[in-house]
Amino acid sequence: MFKLLKYSLYDIVKSRFAILYTLFMVLVAISIYQVSEDMAKVSLSLLNIMLMIVPLIAAVFATTHFFNNLEFTELMLAQPVKRRDVFLSQVLAVVAVLSAALLVGFGVPMLLWGADSSVLILLAVGISLSAVFAGLAFLASVLTRDKAKAIGISLSFWIYFSLVYDGFVLYLIYSLADYPLEKTTLGLVLFNPVDLGRIIMLMQLDISALMGYTGAFFQQFFGSAQGLVLSGSVLLVWILWPILVSQRIFQKKDF
C-alpha cells in the first residue's frame, strides 16, 4: 500500500502539475492580499475563488490521473496486490497533492501577511472540497472506460453542485417566499458540499446579519457545537461515500 502510494505521489510530482497548481494558488492569494488588508474581505475573496476553482481542478485532475495511469493500474492488478490497495493509493495520492498545494499556496501568503481563524477554516473547507470532488471524479472514472466521457461526468458533477443546485434552491425559496423555509433550506444545504462549505465559512465571518432572518438562523445552528459537529460529519460523509462506492465498483470491474 505505502509503496504504491509513494509511486503515485512521485508520478504526480514528476508531471509538474503540483508545482504549477501551487504557484497558481500563491499568485492568486498574493494578488488578493495586495488589494485589501481586511482579513474578512480577504477571506471572502479567497472563498469565492476557491469554491469555483478548487472543485473544478480536483475533478479534472483526478479523472485525467486515473486514465493516464491506467496501464500501470492494469499491471499492478496482474500482480499479487489487493485491488483495494491499488485504488486507494491513487485516491490518497491525488487528495494529498491537492491538499498540499492548497496549504502551501494559501499558507505562504498567510505567513507573510498574517491570517486569522477564518482563513484557517477556509483552508479546511478547501481541503474537504478537494477530497469530495476527487472522490466524485474517481467514481466517474470507474463507471466508464472512455476518458472523454469520464471527464464529462466529472464536469457535470462540478456544474451541478456549483451552479445548477444553487439555482434550484433560489427558485424554491423565491416560489415559496411566504412560507418559513429556514429548516428546509438548512436541509438542502446539507445535500450540496459546495453550499455547505460556503455556509460554514460565512458563519465564521459573522456577517449573518446581511442574510436576514435566515442568516441569523444559520448562525444560531452552525455557530453551535451541535451544528459544527453535524456539518463536519456531513462533509466527512461527502468525502467517504464516492470513494467507497467507486472502490467497490473498481474491485468488480473487468479491466
All structural domains of the chain with their residue ranges:
2-150+161-252
Long-range contacts of 25-28 (CB under 8 A, 24+ apart): 25/101, 25/102, 25/104, 25/105, 25/106, 26/104, 26/105, 26/108, 26/109, 28/53, 28/105
Nine-digit cell at 65?
490521473
Question: pTM for the whole thing?
Answer: 0.90
pLDDT, tens digit, 9 for 90 and up, residues 108-154 = 887 777 666 667 788 888 999 999 999 999 999 999 888 999 999 99
pLDDT digits (tens, 9 = 90+) for 3-59: 788 888 888 877 788 888 989 998 888 888 887 777 777 777 888 888 889 999 999
Cell numbers standing for residue 154: 466529472
Decide: 27 and 51 in contact? Cβ < 8 Å.
no
CB contact set of 241 (below 8 Å; sequence gap of 6+): 135
189-234 tens-digit pLDDT = 889 999 888 887 777 665 554 454 455 556 666 666 676 788 888 8
